[in-house]
Each structure stands twice: as structure tokens, then as C-alpha cells.
Chain A
């Protein structure tokens, strides 16, 4: 009589007997730790085993790659399923983006505000694609409008014409101040202190922009590595130091600079020169 695994009843019994006998034999084997205390493998053995480990990794890999490349219907079906699902998702994402793109374009033309239509449409399409169209989280407008700006070469880099409006260092209840403990080649950190002297909280953009005065106006110096900014809430009566690492910029210490940030939609900043900052620091140190 054949059993489900192809063994006869007698062979099943033999299997059971073999198992029992092996269990009995192994019951006399002491625990691994005890054997390890009594025997240390020879260096030769360790070396040979290391070789097996090295060979086995390549052997196992080779074997598995061969096995996986053999026709396997289940794997093929799984792959096709994955491709179909991914393809479907990709298709719908593209379709949605195109829809948003079209509707945004129509709205823009209807309202007659399509002066910079190409940029806005792109931004609109991106926002629609990412689902991040909330105004609260949007970066300040100057970042997205930079492409059409007038440029100049400064310290081997291209700088962009910034908003030429007068940037106050005080806005009703908000004050700004640039300071740094010691400014030299080794200590390149500058602080823009923003203080809220009013009774209401306000939000400011965390990424300060460094601008330099070049003959005809203020120019924004681009960062060596672009960082992402965010809106930060400053509570009433609080002050905060925003760090600016000058090592991230290519600058000339003799020029006039200002650090600028956004408070709501207003620009706020503080002008400085390195000389002033350095003298102030020295005076403070002397006092």
C-alpha cells in the first residue's frame, strides 16, 4: 500500500524507526557549548572553512541566478502583475497631471493673469501632481520667479537681481539684527536675529537669502547647495536666531550685504558689512 509521499506502510514504519534511532544516538551528544570547551578547531580547518564561505557565497549566488532565470510561471505571472499595476498607476498619475495642467491653464487665461504663464502653469501642474497646492506651505514667490531675473557675475558666480524694494529692519512689532560672535575664515556662521515684540504670533520663512549690493541694486547670491525652507511661527515676545553659514556662499568681504527673509508676504531684512559686524563684535568683547 503506497502512502501519500510514495512510501509503502513498511517504508513509513522504517522512516519512523530511523528517526527514533537517530534521536537516541543524538541524545548522547553533549550540548554545543560543552563540546566547544573541550575542542578547538585547528587553524587549518578555520582556513579551509573560510574558503568554503567565500566559495559558497559565489556558488549560492550562481545557483540562485540560474534557478531564477529558469522558466517559472509563478514568477513570470507575478512580474506581469507588478508591471500591469505599476503601469496603471503611472497612467492615472499622468492623466491626472494633464487634467490639472489643462484646467489651470484655462483658469489663468480667463483671469488674464498669464504674464508668466509658462512658469505658473508648470508650477500648477507640479502642485496638482503632488497634491500640495496649499498656499500655507508654498515657498515665497521670489524663488519661483527667479528665472526671468536680471543676472550679474559676482565672485565667479551668477547672482540674480533681487527685489529692489527698501527692506526695513523693523516691521511694526518685528525687529531684525545681524550679528556674529567672531567672523573669520574659521567661523563663518552669521546670525539673523528676528524678534517678535508684539502680542500676536507671526510666521517667517526659515531660509534667509543673502543679497549683495552691486552698483545698480541688490543681487541675490545663490547657495552652493540649495536647501529647503519652511514657514516657522514665532510666538509673541520671542526671538529667534536664524543661522546663515557663509561658507555656503561665494562672497567678497568688502561689499555691502543684507540678509533677507519673508514675514508673511513682507520682506524683512538687515543690512551689514563685515567690517561693521567685526568692529561691533570687538567692541562688545572689549566691554
Chain B
């Protein structure tokens, strides 16, 4: 009986996977290409996104829901970021050194309704490598281990990236706040 249930489930998931591929592959390619500006690299990003998706199909409830579309967009963007990183590893290292010195994490203080518009503009400007971590964590409520599995990094590294993302956003809000005040 267990085996029978397992087969049924796997068949359902295979169908779901096929539907996702048929329905969203061009959309995902477009999203990746916006970031990469390279048709073939964008195809690689799509392929890697689908590969990661095979392990996380249970996160997809309704193939055609807007939430699923957003989830796929996040996955393919994170894969595009990965591909860019692989192409320019030295830039990441420089960025890493530059960002390590910084202030304490007081982001929570800035996450208020009064700062809503400021937050919107900061998130839109925030680098995708950070933004996708936030999306995985806050929109899809994935654990560090799950995010790490999709991104192909350890849970610890996810946590490091997450705190870097918080600091980056905090800095951006501070800057943006100053700009608003001056204006």
C-alpha cells in the first residue's frame, strides 16, 4: 500500500513538473535573460532552476497560481545570480571585503509602515543576490537548509548571506531616508 501511494504521488509530481515546464519555461527564460543579457546563459539558468525544482515540488501547490509564478521567478533569478557569480568571482570577493565592515543589525527598527515607500524603492534597487534570499525566507518561508539546497550552498552560507542582505538593506534605507529628509 505504501508503494502504491508512493507511485501515485510520484506520478502526480511528474505531471506537475511537466506542466510547470510547459507553462513557464519561456517566462523563466525571459526573467533570467533580463538579468544575464545572454540567451544561452539564460537557458542554463532555466535548466538549473528546473533541476532545483525537482527537489522542491512540494512547495508548489497550484501550478497556475500567481504564487507559483513568483516562486519560479525567484528560483530562476537566484540561478541567474549564481551564473553571474561564477563568471565574475573576483567581484564577489571584493564586494565581500567591502561589506564586512559595518554597523550593527538594526534593520527591524526601519521596517515600519512609515518607511513603506522607502522600503519599496530600496528593495527594487537591492541587488538580486540579496533580494532572492529575502524572498525565499519571507515570501516562501523556506528554512536556511531548504534555501541552501536550491542555491547549492550550505545552510550556514545562506545565513551569512542573509545577514549581509539585512545589513545592505539597512544601509540603503538609511541612505534613502537621508535623501527623503534632504528633499
Contacts and interface: CB of A to CB of B under 8 A. Distances in A.
B57 to A, nearest CB: 7
Given A7-B138, A22-B139, A60-B10, A69 B2 contact: yes
Interface centre among B29, B30, B131, B135 (most CB of A within 10 A): B30
| Prevailing SS type, chain B contact patch | helix
A68 B6 contact: yes
Contact of B9 (A8, A25, A55, A64): A64
Nearest to B118: A17
Given A32-B23, A39-B39, A64-B9, A18 B139 contact: yes
Contacts of A20: 120
B10 A22 contact: no
Contacts, number: 131
A85 interface: no
Contacts of A45: 43, 46-47
Given A7-B138, A68-B2, A26 B70 contact: yes
A133 interface: no
A102 to B, nearest CB: 35
B137 to A, nearest CB: 9
Contacts of A64: 6, 9-10, 13
A11 B18 contact: no
Contacts of A5: 141
Interface string B97-135: 000000000011111110010011001100000010011
Nearest to A30: B30
Q: How large is the interface on B (under 10, 10 to 19, 20 to 34, 35 or more residues)?
A: 35 or more
A33 to B, nearest CB: 8
A21 B120 contact: yes
Interface centre among A23, A42, A65 (most CB of B within 10 A): A65
A15 B138 contact: yes
B96 interface: no
A49 B123 contact: no
Interface stretch (B48-56, B83-91, B145-153): B48-56
A67 B8 CA distance: 13
Contacts of B73: 22, 25-26
Contact of A61 (B7, B112, B116): B7
A29 B26 CA distance: 10
Nearest to B54: A56
Interface in A41-67: 41-42, 44-45, 48-49, 52-53, 55-57, 59-61, 63-65, 67
B43 A10 contact: no
B3 interface: yes
A41 B6 CA distance: 33
Contact of A10 (B17, B39, B108): B108
Contact of B18 (A7, A18, A24, A53): A53
A36 interface: yes
B27 to A, nearest CB: 5
B26 A35 contact: yes
Contacts of A250: none
Instruction: List the 7 closest pairs (A to B, CB-CB), nearest first.
Output: A10-B111, A15-B138, A35-B26, A56-B54, A61-B10, A45-B43, A65-B6
5 contacts: A45-B47, A49-B21, A56-B17, A60-B54, A61-B6
